[in-house]
Amino acid sequence: MSTTKIILVICYILFAPLIGGLLDGFDRKISAKMQRRVGPPLLQPFYDVIKLFSKQVIFVSRYQIFFLLSYTVLIILTGVMFFAGTDILMCFFVMSTGATFLYFAGMVTSTPYSTMGANRELLQMMAYEPAVLLTCVGFYLAEGTFNVGQIASSNVSAILYLPGFFIAFIFILTIKMRKSPFDLSTSHHMHQELVKGLTTEMGARNLAIFQVTEWYENVFLLGVVGLYIINCNPYSLIAAVLVVFATYFLEILIDNTSARVKWDTMLKVSWGVTLFTAGINLIILMII
């Protein structure tokens, strides 16, 4: 592994929670402005996590911490593999395995809200997995490799060949980032009929671990967005950062202007958008 990749991996491990927490704080501030509120301080997510770590731990199920830590380790491993420039298909495979452990963390409590949230988490996985798989296929068809390092160092940005795949991936980010209208299993807001769904029984330290893991995952997902833009030209890095911030702002806007839909609508719409945009793009790539 080259020195640059080692530095990127270390930066991801150390700074991804910081970046993810700042993005979360930015999300809260922008959402508050959209709703004509003052909103919490930018650093409020960090205050919340620190407070959760200081609270007394009460176990609903002692197995939950095992599943949560497994989820955390696998998500961090996903980001490490990605920024080390390895196989993007394997990155998404590890991410999906981590999401399965999160499902078990919700199911193991056997309480109504948590169990229902866990079941909805599985439905969300069914909704976004086709787009995730097609993302890998698209990169391979456009660049001839699954290797992240080779994709990032290509002569032109992958989005020139993969606009349909990019749209599909941006669409399913709404599910992965738990934004309305697809925040079915759990939500960052207190307006759910499920209370907090999947995370209802994750108190104190467990909820803090879940939140920090979400920050790691969001940085990885936004890294994939940047991968569509970046190429061998150093200036493409600036363009990638701008696209990443624009994408995150778009997700905030969608979150604040959309009402939650039912699970069957989520499946139909997400699969429909994925098959239409990525499918047409795939056909064009195969023809040319």
Q: What domain count does the chain have?
A: 1
Dihedral-angle region of residue 14 (phi above 0 means left; psi in -120 to 50 means alpha; beta otherwise) = alpha
SS3 192: strand
Measured CA distances, 48 to 25, 86, 208, 252, 278 (Å):
11, 34, 8, 20, 39
**Which of 92, 161, 177 shows the shortest CA–CA distance to 131?**
92
Cis? peptide before 181, omega within 30° of 0: yes
pLDDT over threshold 90, residue 198: no
| Phi, psi for 260 (deg, rounded to 5) | -60, 140
For 116-153, write each residue's pLDDT tens digit: 888 999 999 999 999 999 999 999 998 889 999 999 99
Q: Is the pLDDT of residue 276 over 60?
A: yes
Q: Residue 208 in 3-state DSSP?
A: helix
Show Cβ contacts of residue 244 under 8 Å, excluding neighbours closer than 6 positions.
222, 225, 226
Residue 37: predicted pLDDT: 87
pLDDT at 60: 74
Q: What is the band of 194 on the pLDDT scale with cuts at 50, 70, 90?
A: low
Q: Which domain holds residue 142?
A: 3-287
pTM of the model: 0.94
